[in-house]
Amino acid sequence: MRHDDNLTADRPTFVTHLECSMTGERYEADRLHGLSAVGRPLLVRYDLAAAARALTPEVLAGRPADLWRYREILPVRRTENIVSLGEIATPIVDLPAVARAAGASNLWVKDEGRLPTGSFKARGLVMAIAMARELGVTTIAMPTNGNAGAAAAAYASRVGIEAVIFCPADTPEINVREIAAQGARVYRVNGLIDDCGKLVGQGAKARGWFDLSTLKEPYRIEGKKTMGLELAEQFGWELPDAIFYPTGGGTGLIGMWKAFDEMEALGWIGSKRPRMYAVQAEGCAPMVRAWQQGERHATRWEDAHTVAAGIRVPQAVGDFLILDAVRQSNGAALAVSDAAILQAVDDAARTDGLLLCPEGGATLAAWRNALAEGLVAPDDKVLLFNCATGLKYPMADQSRTLDRNGPIDFASL
């Protein structure tokens, strides 16, 4: 079956309604929504009993390995509104040398850098843009630290939706240029991502843009939850013991936790859950502080700074959902230093040949700390998330120069 055949297959979605993640208040499906009445994310709900009769692990096994194979438990109602740039199932790659050096085994990376636009943001944004198309949106706006804006720009261009993107002035240059190259209007802002988000909110009121900010619409979670569906299938419907996830807005962690509950209701997995470790940088760790203080909500982190731009999110609207998942799973919120992040990126590349992005490096650094502190055991089955290709980030020039016209001492090379 060709990829296009998969997208045009006649499969209904079993969406029933949306509900407020805090109050449980019910909202009608098939209408354009932002946050709930109390200003919290909306969650998409499905008739999982009916979905279980239509979608089984055996049925999935016969479908192409892409994101849209889970169509019955994704929100797009009409097939013609699906948008795709080829969202493959991303590989799970082991890190045997890194694990061995730490006296451990069973260390894997889910390498999300293989997705369109080179990051896991493609999962959330393909779903958000498809639903924007279905619900008649003509212009979207959003803040970004880089990769989300690139994904939004690409998918919006694909379906003819106008995109306006705001990013901090120090966003990696390649991301800013990538966003513009894929058709969006991109603006550099002298502030952080939440400052950019305020501009989006103001522009949405003034210009009628639809605000596609993280968790301010319901569908990015649904795209990101496919990480949980996919990893369960790749592990033979047995979840790992621990998942280390780079956490800024936290959509993916929230989405995976939702996916695990849905899969149990579908009869695909049992009640076992991985311990969820929300990984942040020491220079921007609002979730870590809230977790340590026993708070359900995280206050804004002032003077946020880290080499891992993707997790430099001073305040997240889904803070309580992240912290709930961490606590319910007996996990933790962990902060790592920039030095440890850079060392982890270097080690994974040099010893196991896998080039992590800085945010992926943060998960490896956090695992090392957790192992040393006894939070994870040497034989635990651990999955790290590399959220983007390392090729998008600056790398030190460690090359040397040769003069082909002069004598060359090959013994010294």
- Residue 88 per-residue DSSP state: B
How far apart CA 99 and CA 385 sit, in angstroms, is 15
How far apart CA 10 and CA 44 sit, in angstroms, is 21
> CA-CA-CA-CA torsion for 302, 322, 91, 184, nearest 10 degrees?
-50
Domain residue extents for the chain: 3-81, 92-118+219-391, 121-211
Q: How far is residue 231 from each of residues 87, 225, 364, measured CA to CA in Å? A: 15, 10, 18
pLDDT for res 396: 86
Mean pLDDT across the chain, nearest whole number?
Answer: 95
pLDDT for res 215: 87
Classify domain 92-118+219-391 by CATH number. Answer: 3.40.50.1100
Strands 210-211 and 139-143, sheet pairing: parallel
> Are residues 278 and 322 in contact, defined by beta-carbon separation less than 8 angstroms?
yes
> CA-CA-CA-CA torsion for 261, 264, 268, 273, nearest 10 degrees?
70
Q: Which residues contact 52 (CB under 8 A, 6 or more apart)?
A: 265, 266, 267
pLDDT confidence band for 1 (50 / 70 / 90): very low
How far apart CA 181 and CA 326 sit, in angstroms, is 38
Q: Which residues contact 111 (CB under 8 A, 6 or more apart)?
A: 90, 91, 92, 93, 354, 386
Which pair of tokens denotes residue 331?
């996990």
How far apart CA 183 and CA 160 sit, in angstroms, is 10
How far apart CA 239 and CA 222 sit, in angstroms, is 19
- With 80 as the cut, is the pLDDT of residue 8 above it? no
pLDDT confidence band for 395 (50 / 70 / 90): confident
- Kindly report, residue by residue over 141-163, the tens digit of the pLDDT: 999 999 999 999 999 999 999 99
What crossing angle do the helices spanning 147-159 and 173-181 adopt, rounded to 10°?
Answer: 10
Q: Which residues contact 165 (CB under 8 A, 6 or more apart)?
A: 141, 142, 143, 144, 149, 152, 153, 179, 184, 185, 186, 187
> Are residues 191 and 219 in contact, defined by beta-carbon separation less than 8 angstroms?
no
DSSP per position, 243-259: EEEE-SS-HHHHHHHHH
- Kindly report, residue by residue over 81-132, the tens digit of the pLDDT: 999 999 999 999 999 999 999 999 999 999 999 999 999 999 999 999 999 9
- Residue 16 per-residue DSSP state: E
Residue for token pair 């619409």? 217
How far apart CA 165 and CA 141 sit, in angstroms, is 6
Residue for token pair 């950019």? 196
The architecture (CATH level 2) of 121-211 comes to: 3-Layer(aba) Sandwich (3.40)
Residue 168, CA atoms < 13 Å, CB-side half-sphere: 20
pLDDT confidence band for 10 (50 / 70 / 90): low
> Are residues 349 and 88 in contact, defined by beta-carbon separation less than 8 angstroms?
no
pLDDT for res 11: 67
pLDDT confidence band for 262 (50 / 70 / 90): very high
Q: What distance separates the 2 farthest-apart alpha carbons in the chain?
A: 78
How far apart CA 186 and CA 205 sit, in angstroms, is 19
> Are residues 286 and 316 in contact, defined by beta-carbon separation less than 8 angstroms?
yes
Q: How far is residue 5 from each of residues 63, 68, 69, 73, 115, measured CA to CA in Å? A: 10, 11, 11, 19, 20
pLDDT for res 143: 96
pLDDT for res 3: 44
Whole-structure pTM value: 0.93
Mean pLDDT throughout 379-392?
96
- Kindly report, residue by residue over 15-69, the tens digit of the pLDDT: 999 999 999 999 999 999 999 999 999 999 999 999 999 999 999 999 999 999 9
- With 70 as the cut, is the pLDDT of residue 4 above it? no
How far apart CA 94 and CA 13 sit, in angstroms, is 34
Instruction: Give the other-Cβ count within 10 Å of 35's Cβ.
Output: 18
Mean pLDDT throughout 293-317?
94
pLDDT for res 379: 97
How far apart CA 331 and CA 77 sit, in angstroms, is 35
The two domains 92-118+219-391 and 121-211 share their CATH topology (first three levels equal): yes
pLDDT confidence band for 218 (50 / 70 / 90): very high
